[in-house]
Structure 1
Amino acid sequence: MIRAAVMGWPVSQSRSPLIHGYWLKQFDIKGDYGRVAIEPDRAGDFFARFADSGLIGGNVTIPYKEVAARAAYHRTPIVERVGAANTLWIEDSVLHADNTDGTGFAANLDERAPGWDRTPGEALVLGAGGAAAAVVDVLIDRGFSVRIVNRTLSRAEVLAARYPGRAHADVLSEANRYAATAGFVVNTTSLGMKGDGAIDLDMSVIPEDAVVTDIVYVPLVTPFLGMAAARGLRTVDGLGMLLHQAVPGFEHWFGRRPSVTAELRALIEADL
């Protein structure tokens, strides 16, 4: 039986097994997709010895995307650029790594906010972690000028330095200053998840034609998105990113390319 899993710490909250289980059933594939919780003190060794794990591949979630990228023998260009991986697979007996967060992020917006990048201007990105790196990369690719704000300035500066002249860094407390001219605003931090604080951003200063999105999907409508919607701004939740980023991995592991459907989305929404 082909086995894959989502790997992280913690990992119990992940809906990835539900997504891949749906596709396995749809294609009548004898496979399994589960969860592997990896304690921080053994993460480096686990990914270094991934070929011995009994898994053909899997998804990497917080906080191990950078660790997984470093452990891979072969890295796709996006992984080389952003230094983080969310999709792993064994090929020719060695570990390969990809990052599909950016493609999933863009596919979600293309589906639920058509035209969001038609006239790319300034984008404000809250956070500078592994997911933010993929989001910034795709925003740059779509033509945006990006401002990254983060609680730890140095981390934002490292990310911005990969795109000289196209991305700039500042501290999170300065977010309102840049929101006033941003046509696109995205939260990539864990703030807004159930029980994990809130984002102090003044939605009233954001241009009325801006698009606001959050990569957090539990709750589906985060306080961040709720405030944006109350202001009348166009919003996109983070669930579609989760669904779309899963497609390439499933194809790697199980040999069939699935589709993101309304039925699948409804299944995951019902479990949130």
Structure 2
Amino acid sequence: MSKRPYAEVIGDPIAQSKSPAIHGHWLRESGIEGDYRAQHVTAEGLADYLGERRSDPDWRGCNVTMPHKQAIIPLLDRLDPLARKIGAVNTVVRGADGTLTGYNTDAAGFLEPLGEELGKPHLFRMARILGTGGAARAIVAALSEAGFTLVLAGRNPDKARAMLDELAPGGEHHAIALDHFGAATDFVFDDREGIFDLVVNASPLGMTGQPALAFDLSHAPPGSLVYDIVTAPRRTPLLDAASKQGFATIEGLAMLIGQARAAFRLFFGETPPREGDAALMEELSR
């Protein structure tokens, strides 16, 4: 057992995780005597892992990556309401009595780099979200709460419709086939000032080793903000193409750091310093 507080990130595989670099940086910057490391945990070993850690008073909790974000839920004692709504857990915190509570910090992490823009009044907010996987669930829930009308695109539009009905009921949201955005459009968008349009790649398409994302930027209204949650490469083809056409962009590392910041507070009880964000992003992109 560790002799000082520690947290971990678990998954299968786990070697690619950037979480140890992020949390390690903040532990050093904050002067906190603690550790953060990666732990390979298979689906078959998940229950045993939690059983062992539950009895370790130095273990503050863990971040959860694929494929455990949903499988871990029945093994926990409590769920934060947002994690329950999203139906996925990416952070587990051990209480002093050994109880385990599941949280989802992906939603907060996604919204964090949008904070300044979301603080402004808008006539209308619309987001085009590409993908219907686990990350998209958190993004749909977050943007719905932030007052966006959503267009959710997936390979299976029925799955997209079901996700909207579950996570964003009551709104005039739209489900559409992902390949709709692959071909150019001459649609005339509402270009009044005060409209906030967001394009989000919430899929792994465009990631290193994955197929390219087919998105024609004629589907992005003037003044759109293009946000790609993919972290490798740091500048995806979507972001590069959007920048060349004059759109503002947000990189996936911004979301990664945002969700980690919320988890760090849960693990170690302090908000990590922000002064070194630019250096941290450079470190993570090496």
Query: Given residue 164 of structure 1, which amino acid in structure 2 is its aligned partner?
Result: P
In the alignment, which residue of structure 1 is the partner of 2:280?
267
2:15 paired residue among 12, 15, 23: 12
CA distance in 2, matches of 1:47, 1:67: 12
Q: Per the alignment, in what secondary structure is the counterpart of residue 70 of structure 2?
A: helix
* Mapped pair 1:145 → 2:158: no
The 1:75–1:178 alpha-carbon spacing in structure 2 relative to 1, beyond 3 Å, is: farther
Query: Given residue 194 of structure 1, which amino acid in structure 2 is its aligned partner?
Result: T
In the alignment, which residue of structure 1 is the partner of 2:99?
94
Per-residue deviation, 1:116: 7.7
1:211 paired residue among 220, 225, 245: 225
Q: Which has a greater percent of helix? A: 1
Higher mean Cα deviation, 235-244 or 164-173?
164-173
Per-residue deviation, 1:159: 1.5
CA contact (8 A) 1:220 1:239 kept: yes
2:234 paired residue among 215, 220, 238: 220
In the alignment, which residue of structure 2 is the partner of 1:83?
87
Query: Given residue 212 of structure 1, which amino acid in structure 2 is its aligned partner?
Result: V
1:74 paired residue among 75, 78, 81: 78
1:191 paired residue among 184, 205, 210: 205
Q: Per the alignment, in what secondary structure is the counterpart of residue 280 of structure 2?
A: helix
Query: Given residue 102 of structure 2, which amino acid in structure 1 is its aligned partner?
Result: A
In the alignment, which residue of structure 2 is the partner of 1:170?
176
CA distance in 2, matches of 1:43, 1:224: 36
Per-residue deviation, 1:27: 2.4
TM-score (norm 2): 0.84
1:253 paired residue among 267, 277, 282: 267
CA distance in 2, matches of 1:18, 1:229: 28
| Residues 69-128 of structure 1: per-residue CA shift (max 9 Å, x gap) | 3432111111111101111111131110111111111111225x6768734432111112
CA distance in 2, matches of 1:9, 1:62: 7
Higher mean Cα deviation, 147-156 or 189-198?
147-156
Per-residue deviation, 1:36: 1.3
CA distance in 1, matches of 2:120, 2:241: 19
Q: Per the alignment, in what secondary structure is the counterpart of residue 40 of structure 1?
A: coil
CA distance in 1, matches of 2:176, 2:144: 17
CA contact (8 A) 1:76 1:98 kept: yes
Per-residue deviation, 1:241: 1.1
CA contact (8 A) 1:208 1:232 kept: no
Q: Per the alignment, in what secondary structure is the counterpart of residue 45 of structure 2?
A: helix
CA contact (8 A) 2:61 2:91 kept: yes
The 1:67–1:154 alpha-carbon spacing in structure 2 relative to 1, beyond 3 Å, is: farther
CA contact (8 A) 1:8 1:37 kept: yes
The 1:126–1:259 alpha-carbon spacing in structure 2 relative to 1, beyond 3 Å, is: same
TM-score (norm 1): 0.88
Q: Per the alignment, in what secondary structure is the counterpart of residue 230 of structure 2?
A: coil
Q: Per the alignment, in what secondary structure is the counterpart of residue 71 of structure 2?
A: helix
CA distance in 1, matches of 2:53, 2:183: 44
The 1:127–1:22 alpha-carbon spacing in structure 2 relative to 1, beyond 3 Å, is: same
The 1:117–1:13 alpha-carbon spacing in structure 2 relative to 1, beyond 3 Å, is: farther
Would you say how many aligned residue pairs link Structure 1 and Structure 2? 270
2:42 paired residue among 39, 42, 45: 39
Higher mean Cα deviation, 14-23 or 150-159?
150-159
Report % sequence identity. Answer: 34
Larger Rg: 2
CA distance in 1, matches of 2:175, 2:48: 33
Per-residue deviation, 1:161: 1.4
The 1:3–1:143 alpha-carbon spacing in structure 2 relative to 1, beyond 3 Å, is: same
